[in-house]
Amino acid sequence: MRILFLGDVVGRAGRDAVVSRLPGLRRELSADLVVLNAENASHGFGLAPDMARAFLEAGADVLTLGNHAWDRKEIVPYIEGEPRLIRPMNYPPGTPGRGATVVDVPGKGRALVMQVMGRLFMEPLDDPFRAAQAELARHTMGAGGSVQAVVVDIHAEATSEKLGFGHSFDGRVSLICGTHTHVPTADHQVLEGGTGYVSDAGMCGDYDSVIGMGKAGASIRFWRKVPAERLAPAEGEATLCGVLAETDDTTGLAIRVGPVRLGGRLSQIMPGF
């Protein structure tokens, strides 16, 4: 199975780039499954239902959220009725939505996609490690299993927490992608046990910015610790950032992982497989 994971979509620049380029990118990479983090799509804060529908229509199979999950209140009734939109599973019991979903992948079987949120420098949610452990205990992965691939979005600030999570579940999932910091890391790899991993997939947004936000408004906050105008997303050409992983059809584990960077200011790279 070929799995394309795209990092946090930020603002209109990111939305427009994803909607216009994802159909062609999916064909070019022969991606069987596309997972997209969409929690910053609405002016940098949250996700609106019409934007979620646009991403799904453009070719995303599953959308994930994060710490800005509830910034757009209208997402609450939408998430209850859309199983392809998930939020971190370690939110407390009773939180709207779900933290995992199983989707059909034509010709390849089924895939479990799940999300957890880290706790270092983040909200004090339930334990993401134990939440993931409990969900994985409900499934078996591989040709004869209940699912043929497992993808995890770990939405977290600290690379140490992401790496600890990666090594904890190495050999049990196909691909672990970090999100949240909006900066693509260069540590894409297949871990010792066969799990594909990257600490942060980066963002789909304008990189002539401060993690997707306008440079002036974001930078002045570090100079003057006083209330400032609300941050607004940068609106230049976006770079689509993410990774492509290829898995073994028998085990569900990763064979190889490569970075994807398309458009905008960053150096361009596409997987050579």
Give the CATH number for residue 35.
3.60.21.10
Going by pLDDT thresholds of 50, 70 and 90, the confidence category of residue 107 is very high
User: What is the mean predicted confidence (pLDDT) over 138-153?
Assistant: 98
Q: Which of 57-66, 89-98, 214-223, 259-268 has the lowest mean pLDDT?
A: 214-223
Residue 231: predicted pLDDT: 87
User: What does the pLDDT average to over 106-114?
Assistant: 98
Look at residue 229 and tell me if it is in a domain. no
Q: Parallel, antiparallel, or unpaired for β 109-117 and 100-105?
A: antiparallel
The answer as to whether 97 is a domain residue is: yes
pLDDT tens digits along 78-103: 999 999 999 999 999 999 999 999 99
What domain range is 88 assigned to? 2-205+239-262
234: pLDDT strictly greater than 80: yes
Question: Considering the domain boundaries, does residue 184 fall inside one?
Answer: yes
Mean pLDDT, residues 219-248: 90
Judged against a pLDDT cut of 90, whether residue 17 lies above it is answered with yes
- Res 132 pLDDT > 80: yes
Distance CA 137, CA 139 (A): 6
Mean pLDDT of 104-122: 97
pLDDT digits (tens, 9 = 90+) for 181-218: 999 999 999 999 999 999 999 999 999 999 999 998 88
Tokens read off for 58? 């453009």
User: What integer pLDDT is reported at residue 168 of this predicted model?
Assistant: 98
* Higher per-residue pLDDT: 221 or 39: 39
- Output the pLDDT for position 138: 97
Count: domains in the chain: 1
In a domain, 167, yes or no: yes
Task: Specify if 268 maps to a domain.
Answer: no
Of the candidates 202, 149, 157, the one whose C-alpha atom is nearest the C-alpha of residue 175 is 149
Residue 146 pLDDT class (50, 70, 90 cuts): very high
**Which pLDDT belongs to residue 210?**
95
> Is residue 273 situated within a structural domain?
no
Q: Residue 163 — pLDDT band, cuts 50, 70, 90?
A: very high
Binding residue ranges for Fe cation: 8, 39-40, 67, 155, 180, 182
**Whole-prediction pTM:** 0.97
Q: Is the pLDDT of residue 228 over 90?
A: no
Annotated binding site: 8, 39-40, 67, 155, 180, 182
Q: Residue 34's pLDDT band (boundaries 50, 70, 90)? A: very high
Average pLDDT score, the chain: 96
Phi-psi region of 236 (alpha: psi -120 to 50; beta: other; left: phi over 0): beta
Residue 234 domain-assigned? no
Which residues, other chains included, contact 223 with Cβ-Cβ below 8 Å and sequence gap of 6+?
none
Q: What are phi and psi of 8, to 5 degrees?
A: -45, 120
pLDDT higher than 80, residue 158: yes
Looking at residues 42-60, what average pLDDT do you find?
97
pLDDT at 12 over 80: yes
Q: Which of 43, 68, 139, 188 is catalytic?
A: 68
Burial class, 218, CB count within 10 angstroms (exposed 0-12 / middle 13-18 / buried 19+): middle
pLDDT at 230 over 90: no
Told to judge if 139 belongs to the known catalytic residues of this protein, a careful annotator would answer no
Is the residue at 223 inside a domain? no
Please determine, for residue 224, whether its predicted confidence score (pLDDT) is greater than 90. Answer: no
